[in-house]
Amino acid sequence: MARNDTDSGVSTNLGDDEDDDQMSEIASLAGLVRHVRETDNMGVSRTKLLVSFYEVHMNRLLGKGSYGKVCLAKNQSNGKTFACKVMDIEQAPVNFVERFLPRELEILSRLHHPNVIRVYTYVKHHSMYYIFMDHCANGDLLRYLQRKGQSGEKLREDESREKFIQILMGVKYLHHKQIAHRDLKCENILIDGTTLKLADFGFARFCGDISVRRKSSSHVGRSDIESFRARDIAVLHPSDPDDEELAIRETRRRSRGRHSASAILARLSEMPLEDEPNPADLSAGARASSSGTRKRRRRTSNSSTMKSTSFCGSVAYASPEVVAGEEYDPKISDIWSCGVILYILMMGKMPFDDTHPRKMLRRQRAKRYLEKIRNILPDLSIALIEALMEPSTTQRLTVDEALLHGWLRPIYKKKLKQLIAVERSATHSVGTIRAMHSKSSRVSVNNPLDSAAAAVLPPKHAESPKHAAQDSQHSVFSAQSGVSDRSGHSYISSERSVYAEESRNREMRASRRI
């Protein structure tokens, strides 16, 4: 028996033994993307674009890129606003579709940090992709600086430092996950209130050992992305904006080891804050070091880092090795871009004219930008800009070294203390969840009827229209792919998806993972 849904153009073949429930589930998936006409109180008719449980306002443009645009969207169940990146892959080159897009989808699904944009839902409808992510109401950093410039204002030093340290903390998170952004610039840094978030991961790539990129409970895996892209119509939920457990686990994961806030703060306490360097020394290449010595040790090449050869990003922010067309370490190249951003924050203008790349390359290598900032900016900030925009890749700072620099160190200490408080709160939350699990286990052991009753109880979110829609979509995927819902997993769901099957006994599952 064949069914043809004219609204979505989906044709699905079912055997005669398939029941009506599966037919309705497939119809639900077919209506994943639909246009609905409505008339307001004034009698004006308009057409709404509904994608999953979001309403996408195509006329509310937030930004535009090479192969797509970003529009405003609203979650119909709770009224929250999101940004929706809309792409038509038929209008994009094959190299982007086959190489860059899958990488972007996988990387975005792995990110969960206050200073990095977070993605919640992917929807694929034939050649159209819809990516729902955080909406940053204050626009991007470039527009913010342009508005300041038009009013004749410049950023104060403390404001520049506060914004830049947030950028570095986002970059630090990426680099520790072996991800390089490769397109860091003011246009790709969004502002949400007082928080800055790195965005636009179209050129991002993994730069560590591929074998360590294992699927974890906090994100979907590569196989999920590949299966999602292989479908004609599909939906994938990398994360849930209301998932507090995931936020707690990610905070605790960042609180462990030598890169935790407590460990870094302990090392900082042992470092004396250096006096400001003599401006005359800057021309000779000397700068204040974050480790307490004036001369930086040459860094040897890291053989485990995957090198890049592709030219990515904007010429004005590109490092000398990228402009020269050489093989480069993408993480070290990110650091140069950070230096350009800091220069712009402090000076309100670009360090180089990128009209002639060859001439710009010579100026980069000669550090001609120092002529424009000497005797204008504070000496420590000049020293940091020079250390970030160091032409030698073995002498250029890493993101960890940059955060420990004397110009950033005082405010970095404050940030670390705030993080420690968050980590302690997360640890307390984990203890509460474990106590709940322990109590639940005792009840189940003492009264077998409790566990039997729990097995037939609906999920806690069953009454929510948002989750009801997601549950329906999940069932459709399982019906089409032949994967049973009883397994608790499907190719389009991660452990932390918001589907009904994964939401049962939520506290017990979370405590076992932790």
Looking at the domain assignment, is residue 307 inside a domain? yes
Average pLDDT over residues 282-296: 40
Q: Which residues have a Cβ under 8 Å from the Cβ of 86 and sit 6 or more positions away? A: 56, 58, 68, 69, 70, 71, 128, 129, 130
- What integer pLDDT is reported at residue 221 of this predicted model? 78
Assigned token pair, 56: 């996408």
Question: Confidence class of residue 121 from pLDDT cuts 50, 70 and 90?
Answer: very high
Residue 232: its H or E element: none
> How sure is the predictor about 71, in pLDDT bands with cuts at 50, 70 and 90?
very high
Q: What's the pLDDT at 248?
A: 53
The CA distance from 224 to 154, in Å, is 46
Distance CA 460, CA 269 (A): 47
The pLDDT, as a whole number, for residue 22 is 45
Let me know if residue 176 belongs to a domain: yes
Q: Is the pLDDT assigned to residue 156 strictly greater than 60?
A: yes
Residue 342: pLDDT above 60? yes
Task: Give the HSE-up count for residue 140: Cα atoms under 13 Å, Cβ half-sphere.
Answer: 17
Please give the DSSP secondary-structure letter assigned to residue 233. E
Count of positions (residues) in the chain: 514
CATH number at residue 200: 1.10.510.10
- Structure confidence at residue 466 (pLDDT): 44
Is residue 118 situated within a structural domain? Answer: no
Residue of higher predicted confidence among 316 and 279: 316
Cα angle value 78/83/87 (rounded, 5°): 130
> What sign does the CA torsion over 373, 379, 382, 387 have?
positive
pLDDT of residue 299: 59
Q: Which two tokens stand for residue 150?
A: 């038009």
> For residue 467, what is the enclosing H or E element?
helix 465-481
Q: Flag whether 188 is in a domain.
A: yes
Question: In this structure, are residues 277 and 286 in contact, taking their beta carbons and an 8 Å threshold?
Answer: yes
Question: Which residues have C-beta within 8 Å of that of residue 259, sequence separation ≥ 6?
Answer: 176, 400
Per-residue pLDDT band at 423 (split at 50, 70, 90): low
User: Any idea which of 207-211, 252-256, 409-413 has the lowest mean pLDDT?
Assistant: 252-256
CA distance 438 to 419: 29
pLDDT band at 421 (very low <50, low <70, confident <90, very high): confident
Question: Is residue 398 pLDDT above 80, yes or no?
Answer: yes
Please give the residue that has the higher pLDDT: either 131 or 457.
131
Structure confidence at residue 106 (pLDDT): 92
Q: What is the mean pLDDT of the chain?
A: 74
Residues 191-208 have pLDDT tens digits of 999 999 999 999 999 987
Query: In this predicted structure, which of 243-257, 369-383, 470-484 has the lowest mean pLDDT?
Result: 470-484
Residue set of the binding site for ATP: 85
Contact criterion met (CB below 8 Å) for 72 and 57: yes
Which residue do the tokens 């230096």 mark? 339
* Segment 166-200, tens digit of pLDDT: 999 999 999 999 999 999 999 999 999 999 999 99
**Binding site feature residues:** 85
Asked whether residue 333 carries a pLDDT value surpassing 70, the answer given is: yes
Whether 161 maps to a domain, the answer reads yes
Q: Is the dihedral of CA 409, 410, 415, 419 positive or negative?
A: positive
Instruction: Show the 3-state SS of 367-391.
Output: CCCHHHHCCCCCHHHHHHHHHHCCC
Percent of the chain having pLDDT more than 90? 45
The mean pLDDT of 438-460, rounded to a whole number, is 39
Give the range among 114-123, 241-250, 308-317 with minimum mean pLDDT.
241-250
Give the position of tokens 């709160």: 425
Q: Dihedrals φ, ψ of 52, to 5°?
A: 55, -125
Asked if pLDDT for residue 286 goes beyond 50, the answer is no
Helix axes 409-446, 157-176, angle to 10 degrees: 50
pLDDT value, residue 453: 33
433: part of which helix (H) or strand (E)? helix 409-446
Q: Is 348 exposed, middle or buried (0-12, 13-18, 19+ CB in 10 A)?
A: middle
* 282 within some domain: yes
Residue 505: C-alpha distances to residues 377, 450, 490, 502, 510 (Å): 57, 13, 18, 8, 9
Would you state the pLDDT for residue 410?
87
> What integer is the mean pLDDT of 459-487?
38
CB count in 10 Å sphere of residue 13: 8
Q: Is 1 exposed, middle or buried (0-12, 13-18, 19+ CB in 10 A)?
A: exposed
Residue 148: both structure tokens together: 């300041």
Q: How many domains does the chain have?
A: 1
Q: For residue 173, what pLDDT is reported?
A: 93
Amino acid at 94: V
Confidence of residue 287 (pLDDT cuts 50, 70, 90): very low
CB 345 within 8 A of CB 353: no
Alpha-carbon distance 319 to 298, whole Å?
18
Q: Encoding tokens for residue 144? A: 């913010």
Tell me whether residue 384 is in a domain: yes
Domain that holds residue 362: 141-214+255-412
Cβ proximity of 496 and 107 under 8 Å: no
pLDDT surpassing 80 at residue 284? no
Residue 51 within a domain: no
Mean pLDDT for 128-135 is: 96
Strand blocks (E) in 150-232: 179-180, 189-192, 195-198, 205-206
How far apart CA 21 and CA 2 sit, in angstroms, is 15
Among 78-92, 227-241, 264-278, the range scoring the smallest mean pLDDT is: 264-278
Rounded distance between C-alpha atoms, residue 18 and residue 21, angstroms: 8
* Strand pairing report for 119-125 and 128-133: antiparallel
What residue type is assigned to position 454 of the chain?
Answer: A
Mean pLDDT calculated for residue range 390-400? 95
* Strand extents, DSSP E, 358-489: none
